[in-house]
């Protein structure tokens, strides 16, 4: 029914472009942390293959860090630092409130999977009318303008 919503206005789904910039901000932050932590090993490498080996050796720790980072920020603030910088929030698709811990963890775990399969989980948002990625769909979340 018109006017029966408990919200003064329905949230506006964030654009793909703004989400892409937020993704880049988040990944640059996490990458910078690992470049700092691994700098001694990276600086000792004599070629690109050795640098790749150092980074590949840390992949599991990078993935765990991403899961912790995204779970905590979404659970506590409703957005990652990148999404905050771009003026977006992640909300439960039925209540429009910040996701609880379980949904935040689900979203963070499936975010890794969305990127592992040729980024198809992210590309899915191009086909979805609500611009949901695989990790949004599994966690029942939306990314909206703040």
The tens digit of pLDDT for each residue in 4-32 reads 445 556 789 999 999 999 999 999 999 99
Residue 102 near residue 44 (C-beta atoms within 8 A) = no
Question: Does 9 reside within a domain?
Answer: no
Per-residue pLDDT at 11: 86
User: For residue 2, what pLDDT band results from cuts at 50, 70 and 90?
Assistant: very low
Question: Does 99 reside within a domain?
Answer: yes
Question: Does 4 reside within a domain?
Answer: no
Per-residue pLDDT at 4: 45
Residue 11 near residue 91 (C-beta atoms within 8 A) = yes
Does the global pTM surpass 0.95?
no
Question: Does 10 reside within a domain?
Answer: no
Phi, psi of 144 (to 5 degrees): -125, 160
DSSP helix/strand/coil, 49: helix
Give me the domain span that covers residue 75.
Answer: 16-145
Question: Does 49 reside within a domain?
Answer: yes
Question: Does 5 reside within a domain?
Answer: no
Per the structure, how many domains does the chain have? Answer: 1
How many alpha carbons fall within 13 Å on the CB side of residue 54?
A: 17
Per-residue pLDDT at 7: 54
Question: Does 3 reside within a domain?
Answer: no
What integer is the mean pLDDT of 89-116? Answer: 96
CA distance 15 to 36: 32
Mapping DSSP onto H, E and C, the string for 26-41 reads: HHHHHHHHHHHHHHHH
Question: Does 65 reside within a domain?
Answer: yes
Tell me which residue of 97, 93, 95 sits closest to 135, measured CA to CA.
93
């Amino acid at each position: 029914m018109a006017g029966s919503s408990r919200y003064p206005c329905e949230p506006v789904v964030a654009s793909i472009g703004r989400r892409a910039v937020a993704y880049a901000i988040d990944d640059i932050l996490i990458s910078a942390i690992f470049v700092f932590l691994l700098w001694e090993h990276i600086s000792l490498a004599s070629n690109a293959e050795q640098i790749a080996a150092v980074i590949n050796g840390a992949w599991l720790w990078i993935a765990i860090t991403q899961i912790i980072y995204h779970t905590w920020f979404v659970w506590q603030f409703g957005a990652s630092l990148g999404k905050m910088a771009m003026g977006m929030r992640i909300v439960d698709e039925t209540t429009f409130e910040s996701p609880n811990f379980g949904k935040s963890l689900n979203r963070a775990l499936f975010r890794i999977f969305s990127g592992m399969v040729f980024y198809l989980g992210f590309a899915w948002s191009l086909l979805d009318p609500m611009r949901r990625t695989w990790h949004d769909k599994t966690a029942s979340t939306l990314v909206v303008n703040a």
